[in-house]
Chains A and B, each alone.
Chain A
Amino acid sequence: KAGVTQTPRYLIKTRGQQVTLSCSPISGHRSVSWYQQTPGQGLQFLFEYFSETQRNKGNFPGRFSGRQFSNSRSEMNVSTLELGDSALYLCASSPRTGGSTIYFGEGSWLTVV
């Protein structure tokens, strides 16, 4: 079974721009969640989608948004990029929501300059 696939792997953006990151979950997994990883803050939960509905959201500003498609693929968008948004963005999928194992992709490295 193919793992979680994230694209792009690396990208550099300028302050004020926006970025869209893509995630394809493991086949059959309906829950997709997103995390931001930085050296200072560790792994921070962004949001979770299940059956195309956002189920939970972490403590991030409204510039961070996401969506899930009917095939469970998900995208997250960050608008008006700030230098502090530089991070590794990780997507994780699981077969169901709530208290089950999540499986991470390799992540998308975003650098904002």
Chain B
Amino acid sequence: QQQVKQSPQSLIVQKGGISIINCAYENTAFDYFPWYQQFPGKGPALLIAIRPDVSEKKEGRFTISFNKSAKQFSLHIMDSQPGDSATYFCAASASGGYQKVTFGTGTKLQVIP
């Protein structure tokens, strides 16, 4: 019940295209859903996050779509650039409890010119 399932494992997108990464969860206590971006040799960095009271959040080229009834959320990267090539992790945590973030297994994105 604590798992966050992420797909696809890897993704190759043409420059200028849309990258889409999907995640699903089961624990209904989760109420905070961040996405992290990790470059090789670096720690994960927060990209964008959403709470279940909204269905979509957009920051620049990055958009999170959230479907509470389906317990699914996704990251869309519009106009993908080679500099976006990294590993992306979705995550979930529950407020009111301890700070334990459950991560998806990661998606390695490669944007080709």
Interface residues of A (CB under 8 A from B): 4, 31, 33, 35, 42-43, 45, 48, 50, 55-56, 58, 90, 92, 94, 96-107
Contact = CB atoms under 8 A, between A and B. Distances in A.
Interface stretch (B15-23, B78-86, B89-97): B89-97
Contact of B101 (A33, A55, A105, A107): A33
B98 A107 contact: no
B95 A45 contact: no
A94 B103 contact: no
B105 A97 contact: no
Contact of A33 (B36, B45, B99, B106): B99
A97 B89 CA distance: 21
Nearest to B89: A43
A101 B43 contact: no
Contacts of B89: 42-43
A99 B44 contact: no
Given A55-B98, A100-B99, A42 B105 contact: yes
Chief secondary structure at chain B's binding surface: loop
Nearest to B29: A99
B2 to A, nearest CB: 9
B46 A48 contact: no
A106 B43 contact: yes
B102 to A, nearest CB: 7
> Nearest 7 CB-CB pairs, A to B?
A99-B95, A104-B43, A56-B98, A43-B103, A55-B98, A97-B99, A99-B32
Contacts of B99: 31, 33, 48, 50, 55-56, 94, 96-100, 102
Given A45-B102, A99-B94, 6 more contacts: A35-B103, A42-B106, A97-B99, A101-B34, A103-B46, A104-B43
B100 interface: yes
Contacts of A33: 99-101
13 contacts: A31-B99, A43-B44, A45-B100, A50-B98, A50-B99, A55-B99, A56-B98, A96-B99, A98-B99, A99-B95, A99-B97, A102-B101, A106-B41
